[in-house]
Amino acid sequence: MSRSSISGRRRQAPVFSFVLVCLLLCALGGRADMAAAHDSPDALSIRIAGNHFVDGRGTPVRMLGVNRSGTEYECMDGRGFFDGPSDAASIAVMASWHINTVRVPLNEDCWLGINGAPAAFSGAAYRDAIVAYVGRLHDAGLYAIVDLHWSAQGMLPADGKTGQGRKMADRDHAPAFWRSVGTTFGRDPAVVFDLFNEPHDISWDCWQNGCTTQDPTGSWQVAGYQSLLDAVRESGAQNPVLVAGNRWAGDLRGWPHGVHDPLHQLAASWHVYSPGPRLDSLRDLVVRPVAAAYPVVAAEFGEKDCARSWVHDFMDWADRAGISYVAWTWDSWPDCGNPVLITAYDGTATAYGSGVRDHLAALWQAQPATNVLTPLGAYAPLLILGAAAVLLIVVSVAISIFTLRRLRRRKPAQGVTGM
């Protein structure tokens, strides 16, 4: 090394040091600004307090919104990140329906960049696209729910053939997925994690702790909900977490079956469609009691008959019960069986979508306070049913006793007549 080069570097050292100090101060300032935004009561944030969500001011709030399907399948098909527009203008159209939440389905392979996911639409590119979209949602004043929607074990691709409608999350990749998502969004107080879309055809023990299962793709290891929640917390993320019920997320009768969050940021995810076998008839006897202790989010709901009568009744019931709901879905494919809210991304509503839109508009105009269920309010239908059952038993016993007495009186009378 020559002398001239050394002396030249020495002359640049003070300038380099000054730049380094400035960069460090800017970084610290940025962190301070982020921390200040996190702590500001006016910042967009959501957390769980008791059996309900609260905003940055501690005011009870519900998550009312729509699903935005596409990010779970477009990447694996090599077509892009989104099905339809994803810019600020398209988000403004969604927000015009007076929602406060958008649920964003994710693809495990695209997020992790594995199993043949197209390089242009997976890994860092996919993650950056999702982070940017969530940022645009926040700019519009909207919360984001990110959920693990499509996944597959081993080297199978999480595509429409082997990644859609899986029984449960896979142990091979899902914990790593949630550690990564937790690291990415752990400092965002306006993001909620939905750990797996729709568990089905597994026991509640497997649902909680994992197991070995089989399906047409072979034998594989299930990651239970507890391990997924642990992966989130290991990342340092403190975000609220949704855990779906069994039987395609429609059954909360065993919920939470021992799943525990040390941060007490656990909520139930419930999917309900009509017509369909999602145990909607048990909403008062099963869902309301769960809501006595935990927030409940109908993270998917919809009407499959291209009509709007059921959704109005359902949303009205959920309003009274203080339950959040997120309609399926803000997409424009023409299929009543997989219900969509719109026919075009300018917000033109389907018949079903108009029911959701009009109900949200009426709710926004009325501005009612969020109803927080008390234990008595949550269990009232069960208590009424129990009281009715007891009354029915008492009446039945009384009728039986009365009938037996009548029969006993008749026998002596019949004997006297015979003489």
Residue type, 188: D
pLDDT at 39: 54
User: Rounded distance, CA 363 to CA 255, Å?
Assistant: 30
Q: DSSP secondary-structure letter at 350?
A: P
Rounded Cα gap, residues 19 and 400, in angstroms:
94
> Right CATH number for 44-373 from 2.30.40.10, 3.40.640.10, 3.20.20.80, 3.40.50.1980?
3.20.20.80
Give the span between the Cα atoms of 112 and 362, in whole angstroms. 42
Which pLDDT does position 409 carry in this prediction?
Answer: 78
Q: Whole-angstrom Cα distance, residue 401 to residue 406?
A: 9
pLDDT at 15: 33
Which DSSP letter does residue 120 get? G
φ and ψ at residue 144, rounded to 5 degrees: -125, 135
Question: What pLDDT is stored for residue 335 in this prediction?
Answer: 86
User: What are the two backbone dihedrals, phi and then psi, of residue 272, each rounded to the nearest 5 degrees?
Assistant: -140, 130
Q: How many Cα atoms within 13 Å fall on the side-chain side of residue 196?
A: 32
Q: What CA–CA distance (Å, rounded) separates 113 from 107?
A: 10
Take residue 274 and report the two structure tokens written for it.
Answer: 């009509």
Say what the pLDDT of residue 406 is.
77
Give residue 36's pLDDT.
39
DSSP string across 142-188? -EEEEEEEE--STT---STTTTTT-SS-BTTTHHHHHHHHHHHHTT-
> What CA–CA distance (Å, rounded) separates 12 from 387?
85
Query: What is the distance, to the nearest Å, from the Cα of residue 288 to the centroid of all Cα atoms in its chain?
Result: 17
pLDDT at site 281: 74
Q: Which amino acid appears at position 270 of this protein? A: W
Amino acid 361: pLDDT? 98
Q: What is the DSSP letter of 342?
A: B
User: CB under 8 Å to 300, separation ≥6 — which residues?
Assistant: 67, 103, 249, 271, 272, 273, 326, 327, 328, 329
Q: For each of the chain's 419 residues, which pLDDT tens digit applies? A: 333 332 333 333 333 333 333 333 333 343 333 333 445 667 899 999 999 999 999 999 999 999 999 999 999 999 999 999 999 999 999 999 999 999 999 999 999 999 999 999 999 999 999 999 999 999 999 999 999 999 999 999 999 999 999 999 999 999 999 999 999 999 999 999 999 999 999 999 999 999 999 999 999 999 999 999 999 999 999 999 999 999 999 999 999 999 999 999 999 999 999 987 666 778 999 999 999 999 999 999 999 998 999 999 999 999 999 999 999 999 999 888 899 999 999 999 999 999 999 999 999 999 999 999 888 877 776 556 566 667 667 777 878 787 777 788 776 655 554 44
- pLDDT at 414 (0 to 100): 57
Q: Quick check: helix, strand or coil at residue 15?
A: helix
**pLDDT recorded at residue 338:** 93
